[in-house]
Structure 1
Amino acid sequence: MRPDEFEALLADEGFPAGVRVERPANDTMDEHSHPFEAKALILAGEIRLMTADGERVYHTGQIFHLRANERHTENYGPDGVTYLVGRKA
């Protein structure tokens, strides 16, 4: 999916405009949650998310979705990750 298509999807689902996020190679974020729903398109690299539903790896062109207050960990690939994310309360 192209970033412009993703932005249109976010708008259709009531998300505000997406924000570009970059995370460094081989870094991690311990278990945490966000007070908002998040939907993101991977622009480059990869991210591994672990939730109560299991572990999943997302690569360029794929979309991940986290519910508000969903506990998760994040691990970034050997090239880091860049994603476009929409967040809504």
Structure 2
Amino acid sequence: MTTPPANPPVHASFEQFQARSLADGFDEVLVREWAPGQVVPEHRHDFGVSAIVVQGEMWLTCAGQERHLVPGDSFALYRNEPHSERYGVQGATYWVARRNAAD
């Protein structure tokens, strides 16, 4: 039986992520926490995002492609990009930078 790889470590602090995101032109940086097993049906945001998972796991589906994300994995979404989310048995936490201004 093969042992699954360990989750990659998250090296940056939230403050470092926030500073880098603001320097990159994002205008809002948040910590988002999701409940165990939560499912968010397909939706869109009127802002673009860049995020990194820091705890738990999630599945993000865009354009029919599902990605399994664990701590250390990052993702980005364009403004108004349709997507759905579901969260693992421990829920998930991610840091997210939002670009509210029009691109």
Larger Rg: 2
TM superposition outliers: structure 1 runs of 4+ over 2 Å: 3-9
Q: 1:5: Cα distance to partner? A: 3.6
Find the counterpart in structure 2 of residue 69 from structure 1: 80
Equivalent in the alignment of 1:39: 50
Aligned to 2:22: 11
2:54 and 2:27 mapped to 1: Cα distance?
18
The CA distance in 1 between the partners of 2:81 and 2:16, in whole Å, is 26
**Unpaired segments of 5 or more residues in structure 2?**
1-10
Structure 1 gaps of 5+ residues are: none
Give percent identity, aligned residues only: 34
Aligned position for 1:24: 35
Where is the strand percentage greater, Structure 1 or Structure 2?
Answer: 1
CA RMSD of aligned residues (A): 1.4
Q: How many corresponding residue pairs?
A: 89
Query: Partner residue of 1:48?
Result: 59
